[in-house]
Chains A and B, each alone.
Chain A
Amino acid sequence: MKLVPLLLVAALWQAASVSGLLPPAVLPSLSSVLAALVSLIRSGEIFPHTAVSFLRAGTGFLLAVVFGTALGLAMARLPAIQRGVEPILLSIYPVPKPALIPLFMVWLGIGDVSKITVIALSCLVPVVISSFNGARAVDDLLLWSARARGTPEHRLLWRVVLPATLPQIATGVRTAIAIALIVMVSSEFISSEHGLGYLIFTYGGVGSDDAMLAVVLYLTAIGFLIDWVYVAGLRRLLAWHAFAH
C-alpha cells in the first residue's frame, strides 16, 4: 500500500541500471548496493560502527533531553532563570551546530567527548524551547486545582507542570532526534575512525560506491525506524492527548 511507490522507484532504478541507461560508474545498480549491504551485515562489519555511532548520538541526545527539559521547565517557573538563560540560548540558536564541530575538537580533542558535546548542544535548543513554551502555557487553573487538593508548592513541577508539558516536549524531542542524526554524521565525516558516517566517507573515498550507498540505505532505514517507533510509542504514552498525528 504505502510501500508501492518506494518499490516502484526501486524497480525503476534497477531497470535503468540493467538497461545501461544508468552506467555503474555513475550510480551502481540497486542489486549491487543490496548485495553490498547483505555482505556488510553477514560479515558483521557494520555492527560495531552502528553501535559506536548510535552510542555517541544517543548519549548526547539523552543528556540534552534530560537537561533541556529541566532547564526549560525551570525557565518557565522562575523568571530569573529565564532572563539569565534566554539571551545565551538566543545567541547559540543561529549558529549551525555542525559548524561547531571543529571548534569543539580543538577544545575537547578528536575523540568521542567532543562529538557527544556538540550533539548534546545541538539537541538542547529544540528541547529547551519546546519545554519552556509548553510549561508556560500550562493553565493556571490546573495549578490552582492541584493546590486546592493539597499539593505543596515544591511538588507542583513534578506532579502538574511536567505531565502537562509532555506533548510539547515530545515534539521538541522528535526534532532533536533528527538533529542528533545530522550532527552525528557530520562529525564523523569531519574526523573519525569509527561509525556509519566514517564508513560512508571512506567507501566513497575509495570508490566503493555500492558499499557507500549500502550504508546510506542502512542509515535511512534505521532513521525511519527510530522515528516510527518514537511516534508509535508517543501515541501510547500520550493517549490522553488529542494527537493529530
Chain B
Amino acid sequence: MRFSETALALDSIDLNVAEREFVTIVGPSGCGKSTLLYLIGGFLKPTTGTLSLRGKPIIGPGPDRGIVFQRYSLFPWLTARRNISYGLEELGVARADRERIVAEHIRLVHLQGFEDRYPRELSGGMQQRVALAQTLVCKPDILLMDEPFGALDAQTRRILQDEMRRIWHSNTKTVLFVTHDVEEAIALGTRVVVMSSRPGRIKEVIKRDFDVADGDEFEASPQFAALKLRIWHSIKEEVEAARS
C-alpha cells in the first residue's frame, strides 16, 4: 500500500482471518496497523493486491465491516440511543424493531439509564460502549477496532477489555483489533499478529494457546508473562532495527 512516491505504508500483507476469530494486531508505532484496518474497512484502496470478505471483493465501506475508532465514532448531535439506532435507520429497519434492537444492545453494553444522554455528557468509557453498540446493531460480518480503548485511562481500559471479552463470548463475531498494548493484545486475542516497522509486514503470527477466563488470575500466570515478553521482544527488535 503506497501513500505517495516515498511512503510505502504496507508491504506484502497476506493474512487470512477465519470466522469467529479474535485477531489482535500489534506492532511498533507507525507500522501501518491502522492503515491495514482502514483498507479492510474500505476507507482506503490498496495500490496493489486484493481484499475480499467471504470471497467477495471489498470495494468501499459498508455495514458488513463495522468499525470502532478511538474517537469520533459517535455523532455528537445524537443521543446514545439515536446513535445506536442510526445504522438501523440506514438499513431501513421498521421502527418497532429498531426500538427493540436498540434496547437489547443498550443492555448488552451495560448502558441502561444513559440512553438519552448526548456524547458530551458521557465519559470516554461510556462513549466507547455506545460506539461498540452502534456498530453491532448493523450485524457486521467482521468487527474492526482501531485502538478503541487507547484514549481511556488504565482502569476504564481494563473494565472495557473484560466487557469486550464478555460481549465477544456471547456474540462470537469475527474481530480484528488493533492495539499498541501488548497485554491487551494477549488478553483479548486468540491469535496475535505482530507487525514489522514501516513498511509494515507481518512479522509473525502467534496463536494464544492458553485460555483466558474472565477475571484477573490469568495475568499472574507464567504463560501470560512468557508470551508477553516474547511479543514485546519481537516488537523491540523492530523498533531498534528501524532506528539504525
Residues of A near any B CB (own CB < 8 A)? 139, 141-142, 144-151, 160, 163-164, 166, 239-242
A148:B75 contact, CB within 8 angstroms: no
Q: In the bound complex, how far is the Cα of B73 from the Cα of A171, in angstroms?
A: 25
* Residue B61 interfacial (CB < 8 Å): yes
Contact of A150 among B43, B78, B87, B118 (CB under 8 A): B87
A interface footprint on B77-98 (CB within 8 Å = 1, 0 otherwise): 1110000001100110000000
Contact of B63 among A142, A149, A160, A241 (CB under 8 A): A149
A-B pairs with the 10 shortest C-beta distances? A150-B90, A147-B61, A149-B87, A141-B72, A240-B118, A163-B77, A150-B63, A148-B61, A139-B72, A240-B77
| B146 nearest in chain A by CB position | A141
Q: In the bound complex, how far is the Cα of B134 from the Cα of A118, in angstroms?
A: 47
A149:B118 contact, CB within 8 angstroms: no
A145:B69 contact, CB within 8 angstroms: yes
Q: In the bound complex, how far is the Cα of B120 from the Cα of A242, in angstroms?
A: 7
User: Given contacts A141-B72, A164-B76, A242-B120, are A148 and B91 in contact (CB under 8 A)?
Assistant: no
Contact of B67 among A142, A148, A239 (CB under 8 A): A148
Q: Tell me if B's interface is mostly helix, strand, loop or mixed.
A: loop
Query: How many B residues touch A, CB cutoff 8 Å?
Result: 30
A150:B77 contact, CB within 8 angstroms: no
Residues of B near any A CB (own CB < 8 A)? 41-43, 60-63, 65-67, 69, 71-79, 86-87, 90-91, 118-120, 134-135, 138
* B11 CB → nearest A CB, Å: 24
Q: Which residues of B contact A241 (CB under 8 A)?
A: 76-77, 120
B73:A147 contact, CB within 8 angstroms: no
Q: In the bound complex, how far is the Cα of B72 from the Cα of A151, in angstroms?
A: 16
* A241 CB → nearest B CB, Å: 7
* B176 CB → nearest A CB, Å: 13
